[in-house]
Amino acid sequence: MLCQMKDTLIIALLSTLGNLLVCAAVGLNRRLRTVTNYFLVSLAVADICVGIIAIPCAILTDTGLPRYNLYLCLLMLSVLIMFTQSSIFSLLAVAVERYIAIFMPFRYRVLMTPRNAILVILATWLLAFLIGLVPLMGWHKTPPDSGHCFFVLVVDMTYMVYFNFFACVLAPLVIMFLIYAQIFVTVKQQVRRIGPEQRSRAEGQSRAAASMRREMKMATSLFLVLFLFTVCWIPLHIINCFLLLCPRCPVPFELLLAAIILSHANSAVNPFLYAYTMTAFRDTFKAIFLCCRTLRDREESNQHNRGEERNTRSNQ
């Protein structure tokens, strides 16, 4: 238990700091203020909330707290569902935005304005909170006589499997994978078609090919975010399916624990992925670190100079 708590606290710290860095990068660099990145900031805010709110709540409920307060217990158990659902909707918004950019380029500027992006983000957060609050509205188990706040004793697995997983997680994931599959196939076909034509219309076709390659690179980076999200969350949902559909099937505690830690870890990986795959984010992260280092060096230099001045005065 102590080892698990240590791991989750490290994940919470990495998730909070890393995603704060993502938000700071978009806020400081004008080049990063795009509609796509607004949705990534929404995803980062959800991951920050996981680090600050959801993981501490999960640690408390792992110990059975709070006791004899069903609604507070359900609220603490629901916050991770809320933030996870917000992450899914943010990823779906990114996928739809990329689809519009590639398949409806002439309508993109009309549809994907910063104002519309903010409205979409607000709508996704509202819907995510409503989905997460469903257990509080009555879809939960009868609380145990002991009063302990354990997930499997309080949250109804029919809600987790049929409503949360099948309808609110799996369906959006399938839609997103189909969108990215269509994007990859279409962009590859366009690049192949442009290739032979470059000899006759070199300049225009070269620009078009470069644009298609940029779109492919961006789509690949965003697909990796989606793929890692799926890899981190699907094992826990599959275990929930076993708990519901085969209640007598033994689920090793170590496997359940690993699936929970893996789901939490997803909130910490995205900043590293952005830094690895997206040049603009990587350069901005470096600039932020260099600025902080310069400020720190300047402060140390000022402290050193003030110390020398005091020594000089004392000698006089």
- CATH number corresponding to 2-291: 1.20.1070.10
Can you give the pLDDT of all 316 residues of the chain as single tens digits?
556 677 888 999 999 999 999 999 999 999 999 999 999 999 999 999 999 999 999 888 888 888 888 889 999 989 989 999 999 999 999 999 999 999 998 899 999 999 999 999 999 999 999 999 999 998 999 888 888 888 888 999 999 999 999 999 999 999 999 999 999 998 888 877 766 555 555 555 667 777 778 888 899 999 999 999 999 999 999 999 999 998 888 889 889 889 999 999 999 999 999 999 999 999 999 988 888 777 565 665 666 555 555 655 555 5
CA–CA gap between residue 123 and residue 308 (Å, rounded) = 58
Q: What share of the chain is helix, strand, coil (3-state, %, to 5)?
A: 85, 0, 15
The per-residue pLDDT for 8 is 87
CA–CA gap between residue 25 and residue 281 (Å, rounded) = 7
CA–CA gap between residue 311 and residue 189 (Å, rounded) = 73
Which residues contact residue 136 at a Cβ distance below 8 angstroms, ignoring those fewer than 6 apart? 71, 74, 75, 78
CA dist list (Å): 54 to 76, 140, 260: 8, 19, 12
The per-residue pLDDT for range 265-275, each reduced to its tens digit, is: 999 999 999 99
The per-residue pLDDT for range 224-244, each reduced to its tens digit, is: 999 999 999 999 999 999 999
CA dist list (Å): 291 to 29, 59, 251, 273, 295: 13, 36, 49, 22, 6
The per-residue pLDDT for range 15-61, each reduced to its tens digit, is: 999 999 999 999 999 999 999 999 999 999 999 999 999 999 988 88
CA–CA gap between residue 290 and residue 286 (Å, rounded) = 6
Residue corresponding to tokens 């910490």: 268
Closest CA to 150 of 50, 59, 235, 255: 59
CA dist list (Å): 276 to 230, 269, 285: 19, 11, 11
Domain-wise residue ranges, the chain: 2-291
Query: Three-class SS of residue 116?
Result: helix
**CB-CB neighbours of 158 under 10 Å:** 12
DSSP 29: -
